[in-house]
Structure 1
Amino acid sequence: MPSTYDPPKSRPVVVVPYQASWVDEFHQIGTRLRKILQDEAIRIDHIGSTSVPGLAAKDIIDIQITVRNLDNISEFIGRMCAEGYVYREGNQSDIYVGPEGGDKRQWRKRYFRQAEGERSIHIHVRQQGNLNQRYPILFRDYVRNNPTARAGYDQIKRRLVEIFPESIEGYLYIKDPLMDIMFEAATVWAAHTGWELDDQYL
């Protein structure tokens, strides 16, 4: 397949069929996080592809922790690090989605990885009310409730792995703008259905 885009190789990109065990794994991890953080976490949500029944995904549990204020979480970070979670200080923002001159502060976050020797997880810490806090929950619920979007997204991810089997950069090169398009569709769906953040969290 001729192409002018030649992304660098990285780790292998592996997408696996949906695993029902992901739900239980999230609950185990989320319950542990709730005990560590107590009321510092407003809500703890299972997000990403592993949160959507029937959707193929990389075998990584994505978790969103909502906090009141990202500028005042030094104790939060200390508690997480004390439990072995790895704080990635260099990852403090999601990819900005919006017009030029938009409020990029709406996309700030903090980010942790699993403790050494534990199963792969991505922990995204986002501020209550920010666009990037709403985004993953809305996207999850939209894909859960739209079989056509779910099937199309599943197929695209599988094809991307075929095209970029050893390049996460190549995989994301196509996937990231697709997510922007799907989020616009999810926003229309939310307005049509009256969707709101639910209370189904840890």
Structure 2
Amino acid sequence: MPTAAQIVTFDDAPGPPGSTPWVDGALLETDVAIADHDPAWADRFAQVESLVRGALDFRALVVEHVGSTAVPGLPAKPIIDIDLTVADSTDEQAYVPALTAAGFVLRVREPWWYEHRCLRHDGLPTNLHVWSPGSPEAFRHRLFRDWLRSAPEDRARYGHAKLAAAEAANAAGEHVMQYNARKQQVVREIYARAFAAAGLV
């Protein structure tokens, strides 16, 4: 498990000069679409979880539904975010070929940011985020999800921020990373309350 200091410290440093996280020319999505919460998202997570565990068996140490689709009542992009923990996210040969055979495509590789990898499955719209054990970011994802499930005021605040960010980003023709930046201040404010409630600060 990461330390409290690691959990509450965000790594916002950019990648090395000239680096790109995008694999094989993957494109950033535009036209950010936010939908009302759909109870079927939980069923889709279960379907993708089964697919991942079937592909990796014991190599899938943890498979968690995270992000906004994991929070009942919260509007979200209708793409399931899943955190997958494997023994070593840098050892791509240990998991990428098996996931590719199951329909996933490696889209993101970020060695400078917690050795994060992300695969997409367009048939079952999913972002599969891959981490090594003890990742502070994966821990934050679970904390944020659980806080929003139990804090209706922050859930409503975040839902409003998401809708406003999507509207502004779409009007400006921005991509999804710019949408994320537009809501970051609200996200960090909510994290601060979640950290305090958990006794991390």
* TM interval, short-chain normalised: 0.7 to 0.9
- The 8 Å contact of residues 59 and 86 in structure 2, kept in 1 or not, is answered as yes
Give the alignment of 1:70-85 within 5 angstroms.
70-85=89-104
Instruction: Give the whole-Å Cα distance in 1 for the aligned partners of 2:178 and 2:96.
Output: 32
Contact 1:127 1:133 in 2 (8 A): no
3-state DSSP class of the match of 1:129?
A: coil
For 1:123, the aligned partner's letter is L
Q: How many residues align?
A: 170
Aligned to 2:50: 31
Q: CA offsets, 1:73-110, max 9 Å, x none?
A: 4121111112221012x4326xxxxxxxxxx66x2211
Q: Distance in 2 between matches of 1:92 and 1:59?
A: 24
Match of 1:128 in 2: 133
Q: Deviations over 1:145-186 (max 9, x none)?
A: 111110100011111222222423442221234323322222
Q: 1:173 aligns with which of 167, 171, 181?
A: 181
Q: Which residue of 2 aligns with 1:163?
A: 168
Determine if contact 2:82/2:128 at 8 Å carries over to the other structure. yes
| Residue in 2 that maps onto 1:14 | 33
Question: Shift of residue 63 of structure 1?
Answer: 0.7
Q: What is the deviation of 1:45?
A: 0.5
Cα RMSD, aligned residues only: 2.0
* Matched-pair contact (CA < 8 Å) for 1:86–1:114: yes
1:111 lines up with 2:118 in the alignment: yes
Q: Is the 2:83–2:128 Cα contact (8 Å) retained in structure 1?
A: yes
What SS does structure 2 have at the residue aligned with 1:142? helix
How many Å apart are 1:191 and its aligned residue?
A: 1.9
Range with bigger deviation, 42-51 or 9-18: 9-18
Query: What letter matches 2:79 in structure 1?
Result: I
SS of 1:69 mapped into structure 2: coil
Query: Does residue 91 of structure 1 match 2:98?
Result: no
Query: Tell me, which stretches of 5 or more residues in structure 2 are unaligned?
Result: 1-27
Cα displacement (A) at 1:34:
0.7
Gaps of 5+ in 1: 1-8, 94-103, 193-202
Aligned to 1:124, what secondary structure does the other structure show? strand
